[in-house]
Amino acid sequence: MDHTPDAGQWRLLPELIEHQRVRTTPVKAEASASAQRLTFDDGGSVFAKFAHGERPGYLAAEANGLRWLGEAAEAVVPVLYADDRLLVEPWIEPAEPSREHAAELGRQIASMHAAGADRFGAPWRGYIGETFMDNAPAGETWAEWYAARRVEPYLRPSRDNGALDAADVAAVEALAAKLPGLAGPEEPPARTHGDLWWGNVHWGDERAWMIDPAAHGGHRETDLANLRLWGGVPLLEDILAGYMEVSPLADGWEDRIGLHQLFPLLIHTTLFGRSFRGRLMDLVSRYA
């Protein structure tokens, strides 16, 4: 078996691993999936993610997103095989970030966004990290959709787990109600990665790659805001310069960064509780 098997052979991977026909190197583990580098007899390797737990369509949704984004950008890691329990991608040896690759990544993100989407959201059930993501339609504008599908669904879980109290929830709801006046010029749905923090940019020898999307039709400023999260992606200014070469952003976009970071922070209060409450509420107070 070489490292480019057909679909039928991919389905045999778990059995081949169990019988030690494929060498495995653990890469990372999550509550809902584990990932490994698989090395075949010819020396070729792939990256494989194996689902476990009860999350129907988790890996299929990720694969759908990769394929959809890959139609518009070469910098999206390709899918070799996917089903509900297995996702296989090429193995890309990590490398140091470079300014050249950063600028090209910016241009690739701009081209991806420009490909657009039929609507805000997506036709598949969404996931982000270890929790749900509602991709259903809502409202006529991005601000209405974002409030309904990226803010409101995470308030009750964050209240139930003790991350937020009643006053916190009311403050977030007040900000959500103000979004139409804060969101800037109305734009059509962009083809967005949806979870483009620095950990989902993989730097290789040939280019920087986008991995692990929560892809959907959204606002293009969301991906750029997420690149600043959790310490920020390396060479961000070069990425932004490359982006601006292809698709300049609307005036005031930097003032709106926090609005787009509201969603990932609510994901973290939903998943990890009160330790993320301070950062979320600091952001909310900024727009009060």
Among 42, 57, 90, identify where a domain stops.
90
Q: Outline where 71-191 has alpha helix (H).
A: 99-114, 142-146, 155-160, 166-182
Among 37, 66, 90, identify where a domain stops.
90
pLDDT tens profile 35-53: 888 887 777 888 988 887 6
pLDDT tens profile 206-260: 999 999 999 999 999 999 999 999 999 999 999 999 999 999 999 999 999 999 9
pLDDT of residue 14 exceeding 70, the answer is no
Do 19 and 86 lie in one domain? The reply is: yes
Do 279 and 225 lie in one domain? The reply is: yes
User: pTM of this prediction?
Assistant: 0.91
- Over pLDDT 90: what percentage of the chain? 73
Range of the domain at 68: 7-90
- The separation between the first and the last C-alpha atoms of the chain, rounded to the nearest angstrom, is 60
Binned at pLDDT 50, 70 and 90, residue 121 comes out as very high
Q: Looking up tokens 């749900």, which residue turns up?
A: 132
pLDDT tens profile 50-99: 887 666 678 888 999 999 999 999 999 999 988 888 899 999 999 999 99
pLDDT of residue 3 exceeding 60, the answer is no
| Alpha-carbon dihedral sign for residues 178, 179, 183, 187 | negative
- Over pLDDT 70: what percentage of the chain? 88
Do 192 and 112 lie in one domain? The reply is: yes
Q: Which pLDDT score, from 0 to 100, does residue 22 have? A: 65
DSSP state of 79: P
